[in-house]
């Protein structure tokens, strides 16, 4: 599908969703220092309610929090259910990185707790939702280090937390890395490191990037046209990159503009198939298309799905029809990669 050509910053949305977006946007602007050096964590948490793990099944899904490193407060929330395998295929593990511009939200934010439960039920899969360190307190490369360390943690045979259905007929764990917005950026870079690492039991099958957060010094057409888009206006994305990147870096840094002037050549790396979701009211859409183009030019398999009438973060609202479509598209991608891996 092609993107929308409208100049309006967002589609027509129900009042409830508009109020939730307005509250989130207010908290980000009100409790973040304008120079990108600090976030008032106690106050912003008032607008980011958290969910406890579900030790009793919630529509079949149970969850628990597992500590990886106390010193960094690095932990993940693991979601499992008792759903049956599809076509005799193993249940995959999806390591999920939440969005929030590297500076906001958490693995136990209610919005992500709900999304991960939906993923577990619909795919089906075991989901590992990573609570990584946030900027500006912890700048690049802290988030990438945390993400990759979680992969090494679950790769360790001493970790016994997965159900038996994960490695049926094999000692290998079929892995996908996924994330939305900043988490989509994280998924790419963690996968880039993972495809160069020899795991003992993880088999990386794919990357799932929901509206991944990429950028550059250039102002793209969609950034100019949708400069005041909800949730992720250009002013906010500039703030996020400044809070995340090392001092004196600009947005053409290789982790931001991944196929830009300072890009790492991935053409000779075994980077896995990638699924990219793009929205017509997302100011980041042109950067996401550049990402798809870069993967293609590097000889990598990439699948692009566009929803022209959605905005950045739409998948957090299950009442929107495209939110269900997205889950169905993820399921199709995951099942296809599992089938290819088990031939």
Show which residues are catalytic.
181, 282, 312
Provide the Cα torsion 23, 29, 33, 36; round to 10°: 110
Joined tokens for residue 338 = 């599992």
Mind giving me the DSSP string for 247-301?
TT--TTSTTTSTTSTTPPP-TTS-PPPEEEEEETT-TTHHHHHHHHHHHHHTT--
Cα–Cα distance between 282 and 215 in angstroms, integer? 13
- Tell how far CA 147 is from the center of its chain: 11
Cα–Cα distance between 316 and 330 in angstroms, integer? 15
Three-class secondary structure of residue 58 per DSSP:
strand
Mind giving me the DSSP string for 298-314?
TT--EEEEEETT--TTG
The residue to which tokens 């500039």 are assigned: 238
161 contacts: CB under 8 Å, gap ≥ 6? 66, 78, 154
- DSSP one-letter code for 53: -
Cα–Cα distance between 309 and 303 in angstroms, integer? 19
Cα–Cα distance between 130 and 186 in angstroms, integer? 11
Q: Residue 287 region, left (φ>0) first, then alpha (ψ -120 to 50), else beta?
A: alpha
Cα–Cα distance between 282 and 299 in angstroms, integer? 26
């Amino acid at each position: 599908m092609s993107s929308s050509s409208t100049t309006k910053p967002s589609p027509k949305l129900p009042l409830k969703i508009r109020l939730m977006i307005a509250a989130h946007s207010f908290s980000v602007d009100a409790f973040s220092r304008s120079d990108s050096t600090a976030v008032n964590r106690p106050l912003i948490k008032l607008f980011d309610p958290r969910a406890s793990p579900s030790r009793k099944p919630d529509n079949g899904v149970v969850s628990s929090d597992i500590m990886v490193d106390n010193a960094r407060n690095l932990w993940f929330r693991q979601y499992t259910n008792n759903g049956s395998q599809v076509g005799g295929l193993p249940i995959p593990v999806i390591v999920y990185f939440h969005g929030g511009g590297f500076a906001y939200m958490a693995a136990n934010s209610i919005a992500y707790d709900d999304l991960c439960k939906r993923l577990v039920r619909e795919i089906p899969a075991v989901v590992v939702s990573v609570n990584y360190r946030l900027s500006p307190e912890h700048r690049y490369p802290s988030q990438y280090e945390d993400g990759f360390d979680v992969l090494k943690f679950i790769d360790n045979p001493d970790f016994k937390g997965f159900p038996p259905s994960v490695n049926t007929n094999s000692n290998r764990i079929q892995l996908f890395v996924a994330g939305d917005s900043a988490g989509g950026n994280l998924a790419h870079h963690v996968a880039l490191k993972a495809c160069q690492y020899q795991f003992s039991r993880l088999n990386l099958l794919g990357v799932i990037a929901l509206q991944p957060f990429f950028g550059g010094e250039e102002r793209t057409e969609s950034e100019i046209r949708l400069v005041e888009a909800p949730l992720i206006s250009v002013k906010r994305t500039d703030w996020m990159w400044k809070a995340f990147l090392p001092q004196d870096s600009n947005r053409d840094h290789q982790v931001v503009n991944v196929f830009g002037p300072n890009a790492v050549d991935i053409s000779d790396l075994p980077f896995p198939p990638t699924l990219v979701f793009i929205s017509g009211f997302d100011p980041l859409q042109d950067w996401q298309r550049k990402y798809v183009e870069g993967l293609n030019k590097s000889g990598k398999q990439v699948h692009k799905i566009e929803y022209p009438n959605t905005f950045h973060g739409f998948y957090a609202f299950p009442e929107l029809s495209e939110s269900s479509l997205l889950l169905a598209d993820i399921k199709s991608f995951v099942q296809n990669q599992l089938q290819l891996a088990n031939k």
